[in-house]
């Protein structure tokens, strides 16, 4: 049955998936008759759409934004038992030539997800395809890289892994922003198609996310680090910053420990990192003792405790915690 449910914070990837389905089913022959969209229709309209029939000999795609049916929100749509049964029956009768797409986009940072316990969700799971597109965190480069490489192929662009990581660090982890950056970079380097660090650095001279933070702390440039943290707290929850720092220092600690016996390649395999990132980390750690990293990790534990127990505000706790 051609029923698909797409949800998550990465609305750009949801749109790409919809476009992929459109290309596969309709090719370039997309019209108002064979492609329809609706935004959280009332229940009767939703049932009408589910019962739609294809036009003539062509397949049809119906795309319905339905977040208010599946998320706990202020304007959520709640169905009674009779309506749930009607919905399930309508799913069973979807024409084989009608490709029905339900989307459930989630605003970044809301930490919501469809309730998988709901009967209608279980029926969709049983009879259709569910795909999630969660936004990645800035420190999840290894998850972002494969998608970014695919996006580069669409732009006919090339570049080494280190340069792609540089793009992520300077632009951020969200794919819509990264897509805009690739468009900008392709125009900047034209007629060439190989992206260099110089081009990236010229277009994005300052890191816009928290990757530079660990370097600032390792170099004991606390004044600059606190200024960066202050700016980050305007956009991100303190737990996201702490999670990034915890993950970063844990990888540095393991890299430092393994460096006594293993090569950069083996360290990368052991810690789940890219080898280029390991080599960069080893270079940073040349003059830093393991005990210094352990001290920073302990500071993070103390900072999180002080914030969660209400002893200090996030900025004050982070400031005093690293400058002790």
For the chain, domains (ranges, CATH) are 3-132 (3.40.50.300), 141-203 (1.10.8.60), 211-323 (1.20.272.10)
Give the confidence band of 132 by pLDDT, cuts at 50, 70, 90. very high
Give the confidence band of 65 by pLDDT, cuts at 50, 70, 90. very high
Q: What is the mean pLDDT of residues 1-12?
A: 90
Lowest mean pLDDT among 7-21, 72-86, 234-248, 300-314: 234-248
Q: Given the structure tokens 């009768």, which residue do they identify?
A: 93
Cis ω for the linkage preceding 38 (within 30 of 0): no
H or E element that contains 185: helix 175-189
What is the average pLDDT score of the chain?
87
Please name the residues in contact with 14: beta carbons below 8 A apart, sequence gap of 6 or more.
Answer: 6, 7, 8, 103, 105, 133
Handedness of CA 157, 161, 166, 171 (dihedral sign): positive
pLDDT at 55 over 80: no
**Greater confidence, 244 or 39?**
39
**In the 3-class helix/strand/coil scheme, how is 45-70 assigned residue by residue?**
HHHHHHCCCCCCCCCEEEEEECHHHH
Q: How far apart are CA 23 and CA 274, in angstroms?
A: 34
Q: What is the mean pLDDT of residues 217-230?
A: 83
Percent of the chain scoring above 90 in pLDDT: 38
pLDDT of res. 206: 60
CA atoms within 13 A on the CB side of 192: 9
């Amino acid at each position: 049955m051609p029923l698909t449910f797409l949800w998550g914070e990465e609305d750009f990837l949801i749109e790409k998936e919809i476009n992929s389905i459109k290309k596969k089913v309709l090719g370039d022959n997309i019209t108002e008759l064979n492609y329809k969209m609706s935004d959280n229709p009332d229940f009767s309209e939703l049932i009408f759409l589910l019962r739609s029939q294809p036009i003539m000999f062509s397949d049809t795609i119906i795309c319905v934004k339905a977040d208010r049916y599946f998320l706990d929100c202020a304007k959520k749509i709640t169905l009674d038992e009779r309506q749930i049964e009607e919905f399930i029956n309508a799913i069973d009768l979807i024409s084989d030539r009608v490709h029905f797409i339900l989307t459930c986009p989630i605003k970044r940072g809301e930490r919501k997800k469809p309730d998988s316990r709901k009967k209608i969700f279980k029926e969709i799971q049983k009879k259709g395809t569910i795909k999630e597109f969660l936004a990645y965190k800035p420190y999840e480069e290894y998850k972002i890289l494969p998608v970014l490489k695919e996006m580069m192929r669409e732009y006919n662009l090339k570049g080494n892994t280190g340069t792609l990581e540089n793009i992520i660090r300077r632009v951020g982890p969200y794919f819509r922003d990264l897509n805009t950056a690739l468009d900008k970079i392709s125009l900047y380097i034209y007629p060439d198609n190989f992206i260099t660090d110089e081009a990236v650095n010229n277009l994005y001279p300052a890191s816009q996310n928290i990757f530079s933070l660990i370097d600032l702390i390792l170099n004991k440039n606390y004044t600059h680090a606190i200024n960066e943290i202050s700016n980050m707290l305007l956009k991100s929850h303190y737990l996201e910053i702490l999670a990034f720092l915890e993950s970063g220092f844990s990888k540095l600690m393991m890299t430092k420990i393994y460096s006594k016996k293993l090569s950069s390649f083996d360290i990368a395999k052991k810690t789940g990192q890219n080898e280029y990132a390991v080599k960069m980390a080893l270079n940073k750690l040349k003059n830093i003792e393991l005990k210094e990293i352990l001290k920073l990790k302990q500071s993070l534990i103390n900072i999180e405790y002080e914030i969660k127990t209400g002893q200090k505000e996030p900025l004050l706790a982070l400031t005093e915690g690293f400058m002790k």
